[in-house]
Amino acid sequence: MSDNEWPRQLPAPDHGDWTEAPQSRGRVLLAAVLVITVLLVAGGVAWRLMSNGTSTPAAQASAAPVPSSTPTVTPCPDPELTVAAAPEIAPLISKFAADLKPAGQRCSPIVVRAEEPGVTVAADDQPDVWVPSSSVWLPIAADRKHVFQTSGATLAWSPIVLAAPPAVAAQYIKDGKTAWTTLIKAVTTEQVPVVTMPDPLLTTTGLLSVHGVHAAAALTTKDPGIAQLRALTLRSRLTRADADPAALITQMSRLTDPGAAAFDVGVFPVVEQQVTAYQKAVPKVPLAAAVPVDGLVQADYPYAVRKGVKTRLAEQLRAAISKPDLAAAGFRTEPTAGGARLPESAKAMLTPAQQWAGFQTVAFQVLLLIDESGSMNERIGAGTETKASLLRESGASAAELFNEETTIGMWYFGAAGAADPAHTEVVPFGPITAGTGGKPRRQALAEQITAYRPRANAGTPLYQSVLDGVDAMRKQAQAGRPSVVVVLTDGADGGTRFAMSNQEFLKRLNAGRDPARPVPVIAVGYGPDANLKALQDMAKATGGQAIAARDPADLASAMAKAFLAARTTS
């Protein structure tokens, strides 16, 4: 075999002629390759350093990205027109807006958001066009410097109805008619187990319902304070005061048992259009609904453009909204006759709603102290009505104001003889739902107030009665159940063996204070003879409130404020 020929087979590993020489040449070749590689790499780095003009290596270009199989979608530009609409009409407005999108264009120039009017009013980002569910929101928005101007006539109307599953509706709907006062009676007599209402500061249904309830109550009495008490009776019995009408409708659509619906949903106000749309879906549990005849209120849907907004596209959208489409969606295209007149000012509309929303349904304990002195027999004005008769009417309404969790008692205070006690218990303290003397405590309370007759020539042991009342309620203190004393008087302390100075009274009142068991005093001073300074002092010392009723006609309103204060003071 010549020197330049390779053998056909390699020798065995232990063959001396082939094991040494090839390994030496392999190591040399491998070493040479490594040296060349290092030199090439080093040279390349050095070249890059020199070409970069710095000691820092130049950045390397990354590998080209692998093309994605999903095409990139360019985000839509900001809309030319933003619209906020009440939830029930927003789908229809969205449809009209979509019809205005130019052919072949993916993005619509109009964006519609569904939200309750109270949410829109509170938002920093105001829409260009607003379709609230009532024009009463426009002055409310204007008070917050959000100025909108209506464009064209009102789009649609829809009255507020009282809706419920048929079994419950039969308790307050007769021959297809109902009334707010009928519902109040059904609630207070426990014929209706559950009533809910939306938040009046966020929703039109809630805001208009509060106005409707007050309008209905005003028809039952000439005194605004008594009317206020009667309206708040419904508020005190609500299972929820912040329910979402749309959520209730959705909840109803999922129910299959009418009996369960009566207790899960019960009675709730809602715009007629939402009930109409619900019934079209043929639910397993239908809704019965009727418009309250004593406080008819209706949603109306204005088309309002924010001041300063370019109107071209806004006008096109307004022109696209058709009455036939609105009617097909369940809205009325004409207003319902006989509706309650709504206040024009935002303050007049919001004040009852704020009081309603701020009303706290708490499980509190209350002791009523009613002045039985002879001055309560004085007449009011030139008529035959007396302070006592007005108190009887106010108190009877107030008795219905307390919720089912209340624990209550009532004393009369007044002493005609030297041996008379400062006060007399006329309704023993206990749960309002429990019995006393063979009848429910709420009924006993109402009967005692109705039978209230001041005693002629009786003095006013105001201070002693308040001291005893606060001490008695302190002994009844329970965690999570605020205790209060509500006192109504038309005079000042005096005329009895219990008389003391205001200084002595406050000294004794402060001496008995226990921060762990607070008992606020809610004091109503009635008439020009009431010692309002003394009432203010006792209220301040106990963390309560003093309410002046300087004019006889203010007594019922003062009573309403007192019972509201009892719920907000703890």
Let me know: does 183 contact 234? Beta carbons within 8 Å: yes
Mode of pairing for the β-strands spanning 435-436 and 439-440: antiparallel
370 pairs with which residues across the strands?
A: 412, 488
Query: Is the pLDDT confidence value at 23 over 50?
Result: no
80 pairs with which residues across the strands?
A: none
Burial tier of 61 (Cβ tally within 10 Å: 0-12, 13-18, 19+): exposed
- Alpha helices (H) along 84-195: 90-99, 117-122, 137-142, 166-169, 180-188
> CB neighbours of 134 closer than 8 A, spacing ≥ 6?
117, 204, 207, 208, 299, 300
CA distances (Å), 88 to each of 187, 220, 271, 441, in order?
28, 33, 9, 44
Q: What amino acid occupies position 79?
A: P
Let me know: does 164 contact 288? Beta carbons within 8 Å: yes
Does 517 or 63 have the greater pLDDT score? 517
Q: Mean pLDDT, the chain, as a whole number?
A: 84
Let me know: does 460 contact 413? Beta carbons within 8 Å: yes
Mode of pairing for the β-strands spanning 304-306 and 148-150: antiparallel
- Weakest-pLDDT range from 255-264, 298-307, 411-420: 255-264
In this prediction, residue 19 carries a pLDDT of: 35
pLDDT tens digit sequence for 78-107: 899 999 999 999 999 999 999 998 888 888
pLDDT tens digit sequence for 473-508: 999 988 888 899 999 888 789 999 999 999 999 999
For the chain, domain boundaries: 78-156+301-332, 158-299, 360-568
Neighbours of 342 (CB within 10 A): 17
The Cα–Cα gap between 310 and 372 comes to 68
Residue 558: pLDDT band by 50, 70, 90 thresholds?
A: low
In this prediction, residue 61 carries a pLDDT of: 42
CATH superfamily of 78-156+301-332: Periplasmic binding protein-like II (3.40.190.10)
Please give, one letter per residue, the 3-state secondary structure of 11-40: CCCCCHHHHHHHHHHHHHHHHHHHHHHHHH
Average pLDDT for 236-265:
90
Residue 514: pLDDT band by 50, 70, 90 thresholds?
A: very high
> What are the two backbone dihedrals, phi and then psi, of residue 392, each rounded to the nearest 5 degrees?
-60, -45
Query: Is the pLDDT confidence value at 258 over 70?
Result: yes
Q: 23 is written with which tokens? A: 């390994």
CATH of 360-568, one of 3.30.200.20, 3.40.50.410, 1.20.120.160, 3.30.1490.20: 3.40.50.410
Please name the fold of domain 158-299: D-Maltodextrin-Binding Protein; domain 2 (3.40.190)
Query: Is the pLDDT confidence value at 283 over 80?
Result: yes
Taking the whole predicted model, whether its pTM rises above 0.85 is answered as no
In this prediction, residue 550 carries a pLDDT of: 65
Fold match between 78-156+301-332 and 158-299? yes
Let me know: does 569 contact 561? Beta carbons within 8 Å: no
